[in-house]
Structure 1
Amino acid sequence: MAEARAEESGRRVLELSEVRASLEARLDAAEKRHQELIADEKRMREQFEALSSRTIRESQETLGKILSERLKAADEKAQAEHEQRKAAVEAMVKPIGETLAKTTERLTQLDERLKASGESAEQLRDQTARLARALSRPEVRGKYGEIQLRRVAELAGMTSYCDFIEQASTSDLDGNVLRPDMVVTLPNNRMIAVDAKANIDAYMAAVNAADDEEREAHLDRFARHIADQAKKLGDKKYWAAFDGSPEFVVMFIPGDQFIDAALARRPDLIERAAIDNVILASPSTLIGLLRAVAVGWREHRLAEEAQELLALGKELHKRAAKVLEHSSELGDSIRQSVERYNRLVGSLDSRLVPTLKRFEAAGAGSGKELTEAKPVVVEPRGLLAGEGE
């Protein structure tokens, strides 16, 4: 029994030894496999690291290349957009710059004009002051009115040699000398006297007044002077001194502003002057009056020329009748000449030519052929006045 157990134990030990050996072999194999796995893992790690490094390097190179290309394209695009924007901005700024340049030039011109205007204004003030001083003298005021009157007459087309006479002198019934500044001759041999001796001294004083109160006082005095002068002018009765003159006289005031100032203070000035047979006339009013007279003169000349044309027509008709009479006599003479020629041709044909042919037949011809005389059959045409052919 014990041997059997010992044998069984020996066998179990042997089996366990075999199992142990097998396990040890398997353990060694596992250890070897483990080492191989570790080596493989190390090799794979190294390979992976190398591959990763290469991949990363290649990726970095590729990415860098792509990024470089994209950056280059983006830079080119940005540069192009920059150029476009620059061109657009320049296109927007260029008109502004041109406008600013033109504005600067115009401002310079305006500055020069303002400077010239200031100089002109200064010269105008100086000339105005000198004119005011000159017009304060009565003889200068009278000359100024005459010059204005002459200018108005020229603008109206009234020339001195046919339509008006300056500084004509005449006398009234009491022997007082009347000297209007202008006498306008009308086409029907009537005359209109024009006086230009308006007193504008008070108006010039008003222009140079220091304050409004002084100015108003001078203007009131000016209006009174105009009214008094119109009254005195009406009392002179210029129309009575000129044969055929209408019963009024024209009082010429050398500026519309003078009449406006007087009417502002005396609204009834024109009516009162008209009652005294005085017509107040500014340059514009007198131009209208003189142009109406000029139209009358033109119509008068047209009527005279029409009369002359009528006389010339009568003379032309008389002479034409005489010419027609001579042409009729000439036609009769031509007709008689044709009749006489035809009778001569008939006589030659019936009497002379047969005798000459007998001479030829007898051998007494000269050898020259006889020319046949032909009668004229054209009749002179008579004048058919007022009839067709």
Structure 2
Amino acid sequence: MQTMLAGAQALSSPSSTSDEDPADPYLTVLAYFNALRELGGARRIVEDEIREHVASYGDKRQRVLPAGPEFANRQMRQPLELTSRVTTDEVALAKERLGKALTNDGALNDDSIDVALATNMISVGLDISRLGLMLVQGQPKTAAEYIQATSRVGRASGKPGLVVTVLNLHKPRDRTHYEQFRAFHASFYRAVEATSVTPFAPRALDRALAAVIVAAARHYDPALSPSAAVGRLEAHPGIRDTVNAALRRRALNAGVDEASIERAASRAQELFDMWEQVAEAQTATGGTFTYDGSGVERRLLQYPLDRRAETLDPVHQRFVAARSMRDVEYSVFLKTCDPFGRPLQESEQDQ
């Protein structure tokens, strides 16, 4: 991590005449860990040792090359943590900070991040095009997790991502991946484990079908793709059959039984009817209505945990599109009690 931080700093040119520093995607290190225990130990090292050493790394670690020094000194700030120990509000703020460039008009941006320490919660929902550098500490437990986690960097065109994997000699799984590193990365998609989720289950349809048919309609018919075209579904009746046929093909390929296929097709038709109903109601007064507007009433798709959507018509509330696997259920507090209904801690003290 010291080498990556100091190397990126040497390549940085914040006073560049271009709109942004070309090395900016690599000035923030996104470090991935398989467990909170490993992350906790690494955080101490980052806060104490790395922050101290990287301040003089450019002076002490140099190579004699015609191109000049390969490393530069750097003042590193407190690392950011993206784990289950962080609240949803803090995660949203962290994502916003990760999207900010390290420098602004040649000066250091106070809200920017030098190092972000994360667990598998970043595997989905972290779509920040600025990030370009990741450090993976230990081989993730599944191939699917490895692919998802490492795809968080290099998401922007013209900004290729660099993933550095640090494997542990004493872990047999890490050692196996090291010995077959090139072969595994040339074909790791065929090593993806089968999912345990039942396709087209009733609960899966409740959570995801509305977002799926909206996305499919926008892809199949370019006329429905613009955000303001959400109210034009009625003018394109053929899209219903197109999406329904695609849904049936996908269900057949997944080996779903006929009853489940019919249930999914019936729900899709109901959602198309609801889509038209909501669009007609929202555009009747002449106001703006889009797929993803700023206000809950002015957009079709809603966020899963947005309390403001509870004021909408029940039909409108059906159109939920999750942005992250983390946004699944509301947080709840548990209070343990003894058989007599007293809080468990108090009952233990009485004894």
TM-score strictly above 0.5: no
Bigger relative contact order (CA 8 A; separation at least 6): 2
Per the shorter chain, which TM-score range?
A: under 0.3
Q: Which has the larger radius of gyration?
A: 1
Superposition TM-score, scaled by structure 1 size: 0.18
